[in-house]
Amino acid sequence: MKPLIEPDVTVLIPTVGRPVLERAIAAIECGTAWPCELVVVDQSVDAIARKIVEAACARGFPARWLACHGRGRSLGLNTGLSEIRSRIVLITDDDCLARMDWLQSMAARLRANPGCLVTGRVLAEDGAVQLSVAVDDREALQVKPSPRFDRLSGGNMGFHRLVYERVGPFSTEPAMLTAEDAEYAYRSLRLGVSILYAPEVCVTHLGWRDQSARTEQYRSYALSQSGMFGWYVRQGDVFMLLRSAVHMLRCARRWLLGSLKGDREMATNGQSYLMYFFLGFSVGWKAWASSERGRKR
């Protein structure tokens, strides 16, 4: 017997064709409820993701494969969102395993809070080192940007279609390539869209990256995060100056504590964010200036 179908809920997964996509889809398929459709936006050059989706369809699961020519998670998300017509959209990643009640829990929160972005816990796979997690078991509602960070996990989020139409698509600006969720959270809050952190809405992030891959990803995150700071400061956003200062202090503290404790992961993370701050900030500053000149032509 098939699970309950949520007729107004679509799940969106962007992928670059990683084999772990099969586990991500299987987790949703084993859930207490199914979406009306699961859309997989594929930016890979091989057929791995397409075959995984076709196998799910053959089992009777409502999945659809969608090709996306180009790179970047934001582009993949925007491509999928342009095809989705359901009232509620849930987003996760191809390396995240949704808990059995994830879909129903997220949908229930969005129906009760249609004007909010909803996010939740992101747990680490047992024994795995993760780039970032969200483990707080207390509910929280954020109504304005924070000097530290805005709580939105890109691999565990959802919104009503009306919220997306208000906030707009995810930024495809290269200077913020891997900070798309941070930029979307900040832009949403500035527009008056609150972010609801619901701890029962839970996914597990698979730890497939080795030390070298994690170090490279820290570098990418560092450049994109500071690129976002430069992008907004160039527009005259004074608040982003405060957040930039807080960000640097937190990174320096992480680097120092990691070094003192012998925690290589913490030290590498803090070092990367601090070392690449000014380069990323400069790229973001110049990118906004260039885009503004282009708009005036």
Closest to 29 in 3D by CA, of 88, 50, 21: 21
* pLDDT for res 252: 96
Domain check: are 241 and 163 in the same one? no
Contact between 292 and 236 (Cβ < 8 Å): no
227: in domain: yes
Same domain, 80 and 225: no
Does residue 2 lie within any of the structural domains? no
Q: What is the torsional sign of CA 101, 107, 112, 118?
A: positive
pLDDT attached to residue 131: 61
Q: What is the number of H-type helices and E-type strands within the chain?
A: 10, 9
SS3 200: strand
Residues 188 and 53 in one domain: yes
CATH code of the domain in which 35 resides: 3.90.550.10
Judge if 14 and 108 occupy the same domain: yes
What is the per-residue pLDDT for 13? 98
CA dihedral 22, 25, 26, 27 (to 10 degrees): 130
Pair (130, 221) in one structural domain: no
Do 200 and 106 share a structural domain?
yes
For 45-70, b/e burial (b = at least 16 CB within 10 A) is eeebbbebbeebeeeebbbbbbebee
Q: Collapsing DSSP states into helix, strand and coil, what is residue 198?
A: strand
Closest CA to 24 of 39, 46, 36: 39
Which H/E stretch holds residue 104?
helix 102-112
Could you tell me the two tokens for 120?
């939740």
CB count, 10 Å around CB of 118?
Answer: 27
Q: Please, how many CA atoms are within 13 Å of residue 281, restricted to the half-sphere of its CB?
A: 16
Instruction: Give the per-residue pLDDT at 130.
Output: 61
pLDDT per residue of the chain (297 residues) written in tens, 0 to 9: 678 999 999 999 999 999 999 999 999 999 999 999 999 999 998 999 999 999 999 999 999 999 999 989 999 999 999 999 999 999 999 999 999 999 999 999 999 999 999 999 999 887 666 667 788 999 999 999 999 999 999 999 999 999 999 999 999 999 999 999 999 999 999 999 999 999 999 999 998 888 898 899 999 999 999 999 999 999 999 999 999 999 999 999 999 999 999 999 899 999 999 999 999 999 999 999 888 665 665
197 and 106 within one domain: yes
Q: Which of 205, 231, 256 is the last residue of a domain?
A: 205
Which residues pair with residue 262 across a beta bridge?
none
End residue of a domain, out of 167, 184, 205: 205
Domain assignment of residue 16, yes or no = yes
Pair 13, 38 in one domain: yes
Q: Give the pLDDT score at 135.
A: 86
> What H or E segment, with its residue span, contains residue 51?
helix 48-58
State residue 55's pLDDT score: 98
* Domain boundaries, position 243: 211-292
- Report the domain count for the chain: 2
Of 182, 205, 228, the residue at which a domain comes to its end is 205
pLDDT at 293: 60
